[in-house]
């Protein structure tokens, strides 16, 4: 349940391009992420179309629901930009010409050596009593206004202008007016273990009740998030994370929020390759270049892509009828003698009905580490998992050798 | 104002990762775009956190507000997956074990040679009277259930599973149960021409007023959408599309909605390669396997990836100091003589300050076609454009020869 001492926030996006799906709403994620960092409880994201009646009633709902509303869009000069008018109607506040806003707009057009079009004048009208947010990056001034109880922050929908206003004005105002209580987020990035398997392991631990746990299932990586109260010392958090890491064994490849930060599996491999000063050659089959694409040009020497295993491994080369981890290791060792890299990774696969089994081997100094994995679903999905499995094997090899 | 004869839709997203901004909600845009195409009025996007009380009250609000609710997320096996429970509470419908859903999940885990974890069992409980949506792509079954008046469609939050369910079941159900506006959408997929350049060309044409035009800028492909009234005959639409294609010249690689359907540039190349019965070998540098990854295993024979041009093209091989299209053509011809494919594509690049210039050549029967392109921005962006430019050159070669 939301902690009642924390300010509540609604992220409010406007505009037909968002509601119709023509644009993905990246503003909402940006604003929410900032609010989370401040320790606020985000209770809703709401998007409405450019319909005045709808906008008025949604603003009234938000006013009753939250302490803070961060609103983007609808401040432009055209007839479908109705945000300011909607606020005026929702809370019965008259609009008044803001001279500074008008002058800034005229200056903006002046710099472009263009007369300000008449339609833009409406952008200089703000609700009585509003605090203007200067727009140094475009035409539409933003503003801060209170409804009955909620503090509304209005910003343009253009991400660049919105982000600049957040950084220049809004974040400071939020810190000044609201109780900022920083919870502490630690993210464990995992690979090779399903969401439910993780959940089962976690259930067996005694994680303190005030630590909130959430998951984020991705393909092929899963994230486990631990949100600690601000009162937790780093040492206590570390002990808790250690406990979790212990039961998830080798599947955790990165821990964010306790000092380090690693974005994904490829970044993790990149760091290890650099630390150990290794270089790599690759033979890819099923993933068709998707492993190579994720390697860094500093240490990937070369890669051979053969979509069909038979093109790298003629049937006559196979003493047994089928491919297996041993065959992958043998090929990796053979390739490695011709390579000028310190490591060689080989990926082979076999078709079994609709599914595939991928066999991966990493070799360096004659030591070989291998893995096999059954892949289901669409080809594209199989390829993503096949390349992630290869990178993960490389990561484990680097940790062990 | 919304046309009152059109069904109204709420897009409802769930989950902490969306509300906290850890994930950008691309599902909402995908679903909204489909609803717009069907002619529905999208009245809200709403996102809530994994809080049962909140979810219950939002579902009741949506029920009073719209005819249709497309809901994603919260169907997983973990403790923060509360969607089904929330629906049950909101409309006082008991949950019951759905045996087919349970069996499908057990089969899914069986294929992975893993026992189904006990926590997953809860995913097989659906509201009494619900229509199950089979999940052939993961564990969580979706379902369709009516609230008091709104028809709710529940799908997993994993985009891949959600999209598959939309295509396999939900779209058909929407068409069956609701009044679908028969506007006709034609999408022109373009590559190599910017949004404003396209806009300028279109502005010079006399497109009928009742044809709605919209853009969707992507990287590296841009879409131009023409929405025709239901009354337009195919011939009239074709004439209008021809007019547009004429001014956009070779940049249109596919037209969807007049019979054919091509998803993207790679699909377009795939069709041409098959029609012409060609096979391909590739040498990639900058894009590091991203071209190969998008080729089909039926005609891609092999690919060599050298992240550093100097590894494939030692400085001593260069008679001039710099790389250019001629050098790319020469290398392509040289490689081609050793290949058993009918075509060879070579990609080289040069660093010029922060930017890069990529040189691409395609050769077959000694005929060489080449292109160069300056790439800006982050490395990842440069790589995406570099591989798309290569595929687009291959497409043009195939059309001409």
> Model ipTM?
0.73
| Predicted confidence (pLDDT) per residue in A230-283, tens digit | 899 999 999 999 999 999 988 999 998 887 778 789 999 999 999 999 999 999
Q: Are residues B228 and B277 in the same domain?
A: no
Q: What is the pLDDT of residue B322?
A: 82
Tell me the mean pLDDT in the region A359-368: 92
User: Does B44 contact A at CB distance below 8 Å?
Assistant: yes
Place A144 in a pLDDT band, splitting at 50, 70 and 90.
very high
Q: Is the confidence at residue B266, as pLDDT, over 90?
A: yes
- 8-state DSSP, A264: S
Same domain, B67 and B127: yes
Chain A residues touching residue B165 (CB < 8 angstroms)? none
Mean pLDDT, rounded, for A55-70: 97
The CATH number given to whatever domain includes residue B48 is 3.40.980.10
In a domain, B1, yes or no: no
- Could you tell me the residue range of the domain that residue B257 belongs to? 184-262
Q: Is the pLDDT of residue B104 over 90?
A: yes
Looking at chain A, which residue has its C-alpha nearest residue B16?
Answer: A214
**Most distant CA pair in chain A: distance in Å?**
86
Q: Do B29 and A30 touch (CB under 8 A)?
A: no
Identify all chain A residues contacting B383, using CB atoms and an 8 Å cutoff: 293
Q: Which of B21, B26, B43 sits opposite A49 (nearest CB)?
A: B43
Q: What is the mean pLDDT of residues B26-55?
A: 92
**Residue numbers in A near B158 (CB within 8 A):** 217, 219
- Smallest CA–CA separation between B343 and chain A, in Å? 16
Chain A residue numbers with beta carbons less than 8 Å from the beta carbon of B3 are none
Question: Residue A226 above 70 pLDDT?
Answer: yes
Q: What is the pLDDT of residue A292?
A: 97
Same-domain pairing of B327 and B391:
yes
Q: Does any domain span residue B101? A: yes
Q: Using a CB–CB cutoff of 8 Å, tell me whether B176 touches chain A.
A: no
pLDDT tens, position by position, A174-199: 999 998 877 788 989 999 888 788 88
Contacts A–B by Cβ distance under 8 A: 233
Q: Which of A155, A177, A199 is the last residue of a domain?
A: A177
Check CB contact of B351 with chain A, cutoff 8 Å: no
**A193 Cβ under 8 Å from any chain B Cβ:** no
Contact A284 B289 (CB under 8 A): yes
Residue A383 maps to which CATH number? Answer: 3.90.950.20
Interface with B, mutate which of A288, A338, A358, A379 (most B CBs under 10 A) = A288
B293 with A293: Cβ contact below 8 A: yes
Yes or no, beta carbons of B80 and A2 under 8 Å apart: no
Any domain includes B12: yes
User: Does residue A2 lie within any of the structural domains?
Assistant: no
Closest CA to A383 of A315, A301, A284, A256: A284
A150 in the same domain as A58: yes
Give the residue from A198, A225, A260 where a domain finishes.
Answer: A260
- A contact test, residue of B18, B22, B158, B215 with most A CBs within 10 A: B22
Whether residue A2 has pLDDT greater than 70: no
Using pLDDT thresholds of 50, 70 and 90, give the confidence band for residue A3: very low
| Domains identified in chain B, total number | 3
A343 vs A313, higher pLDDT = A343
Which B residues 371-400 touch A at CB under 8 Å?
383
Q: How many whole angstroms separate alpha carbon B234 and alpha carbon B220?
A: 29
Mutate to test the interface with B, among A8, A45, A335 (most CBs of B within 10 A): A45
Any CB–CB contact under 8 A between A295 and chain B?
A: yes
CB contact under 8 A, B288 and A289: yes
pLDDT score of B79: 83
Of B177, B206, B227, the position where a domain reaches its end is B177
A22, A41, A335: best to mutate for the B interface, most B CBs within 10 A? A22
Of chain B residues 239-258, which have a CB less than 8 A from chain A? Answer: none
The span from the CA of B318 to the CA of A339, in Å, is: 24
pLDDT digits (tens, 9 = 90+) for B150-186: 999 999 998 889 999 999 999 999 999 998 877 788 9
At A250, which CATH number? 3.30.70.2860
Question: Rounded distance, CA A241 to CA A248, Å?
Answer: 11
CB contact under 8 A, B54 and A32: no
Q: Please tell me whether residues B161 and B272 are part of one structural domain.
A: no
B297 and B257, same domain (yes or no): no
Question: Is residue B356 within 8 angstroms of chain A, CB to CB?
Answer: no
Q: Is it the case that residue A143 has pLDDT exceeding 50?
A: yes
B223 and B100 inside one domain: no
At residue B262, the pLDDT reads 84
Asked if residue B387 belongs to a domain, the reply is yes
- Report CB contact under 8 Å: A21, B35: yes
Is A4's pLDDT higher than 80? no
Q: What is the pLDDT of residue A1?
A: 38
Do A143 and A78 lie in one domain? The reply is yes
Q: What percent of chain A lies above the pLDDT cut of 90?
A: 64
Which chain B residue lies closest to A39 (C-alpha atoms)?
A: B20
Is residue B284 located within the same domain as residue B344? yes
Looking at A171-305, which runs of residues are DSSP E strands?
184-191, 212-217, 221-228, 252-256, 280-284, 300-305
CA B23 to chain centre: 17
Quick check: B1 pLDDT over 50? no
Q: How confident is the model at residue A13 (pLDDT cuts 50, 70, 90)?
A: very high
User: What residues of B are in contact with residue A20 (Cβ under 8 Å)?
Assistant: 32-33, 36, 42
List the single range of A391-395, B74-78, B321-325 with lowest mean pLDDT. Answer: B321-325
Residues of B within 8 A of A377 (CB-CB) are: 137
pLDDT mean across residues, chain A: 90
Do both A387 and A287 map to the same domain? yes
Task: Evaluate whether residue A3 is within a structural domain.
Answer: no
pLDDT for the residue B143: 97
B39 and A CB contact within 8 Å: no
The dihedrals phi and psi of B285, each to the nearest 5 degrees, come to -120, -85
Q: Let me know if residue A190 belongs to a domain.
A: yes
- Per-residue pLDDT reduced to its tens digit, A321-363: 589 999 999 999 999 999 899 999 999 999 887 789 999 999 9
In this structure, the answer to whether residues A202 and A137 fall within a common structural domain is no
- Spell out which residues of chain A touch residue B53, defining contact as CB-CB under 8 Å: 1
Query: Are A76 and A24 in the same domain?
Result: yes
Does any CB of chain A come closer than 8 Å to the CB of residue B2? yes
pLDDT score for A315: 65
**Lookup: tokens for A377:** 């679903």
Indicate whether A99 belongs to any domain. Answer: yes
Tokens of B279: 């096979």
pLDDT score at B196: 67
Tell me which residue in B289, B296, B297 faces A290 most closely, judged by beta carbons.
B289
B305 to A292: CB separation less than 8 angstroms, yes or no: yes
Whether residues B32 and A46 touch (CB distance < 8 A) is answered with no
Task: State mean pLDDT over B123-130.
Answer: 95
């Amino acid at each position: 349940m939301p902690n009642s001492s924390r300010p509540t926030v609604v992220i409010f996006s406007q505009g037909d391009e968002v509601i119709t799906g023509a644009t993905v709403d990246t503003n909402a994620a940006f604003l929410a992420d900032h609010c989370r960092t401040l320790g606020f409880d985000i209770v809703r994201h709401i998007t409405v179309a450019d319909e005045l009646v709808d906008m008025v009633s949604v603003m009234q709902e938000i006013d009753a629901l939250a302490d803070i509303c961060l609103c983007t869009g609808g401040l432009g000069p055209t007839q479908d930009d109705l945000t300011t008018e909607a606020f005026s109607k929702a809370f019965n506040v008259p609009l008044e010409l803001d001279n500074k806003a008008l002058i800034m707009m005229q200056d903006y057009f002046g710099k472009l050596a263009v007369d300000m079009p008449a339609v833009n004048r409406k952008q200089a009208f703000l609700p009585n009593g509003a605090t203007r947010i200067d727009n140094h990056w475009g035409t539409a001034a933003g503003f801060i206004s209170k409804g009955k109880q909620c503090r509304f922050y209005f910003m343009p929908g253009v991400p660049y202008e919105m982000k600049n206003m957040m950084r220049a004005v809004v974040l400071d105002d939020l810190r000044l007016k609201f109780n900022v209580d920083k919870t502490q987020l630690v993210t464990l990035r995992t690979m090779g273990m399903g969401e439910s398997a993780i959940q089962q392991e976690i259930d067996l631990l005694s994680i303190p009740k005030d630590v909130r746990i959430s998951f984020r299932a991705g393909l092929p990586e899963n994230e486990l998030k631990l949100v600690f109260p601000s009162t937790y010392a780093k040492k206590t958090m570390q002990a808790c994370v250690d406990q979790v890491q212990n039961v998830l064994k080798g599947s955790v490849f990165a821990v964010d929020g306790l000092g380090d930060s690693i974005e994904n599996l490829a970044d993790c491999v990149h760091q290890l390759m650099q630390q150990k000063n290794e270089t790599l050659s690759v033979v890819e089959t099923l993933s068709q270049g998707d492993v190579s694409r994720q390697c860094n040009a500093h240490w990937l020497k070369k890669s051979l892509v053969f979509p069909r295993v038979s093109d790298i491994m003629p049937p006559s080369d196979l003493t047994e009828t089928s491919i297996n981890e041993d065959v992958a290791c043998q090929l990796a060792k053979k390739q490695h003698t011709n390579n000028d890299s310190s490591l060689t990774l080989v990926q082979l696969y076999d078709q079994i009905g609709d599914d595939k089994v991928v066999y991966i081997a990493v070799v360096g100094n004659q030591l070989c580490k291998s893995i096999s994995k059954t892949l289901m679903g669409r080809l594209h999905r199989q390829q993503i998992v096949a390349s992630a499995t290869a990178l993960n094997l490389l990561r484990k090899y680097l940790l062990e050798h």
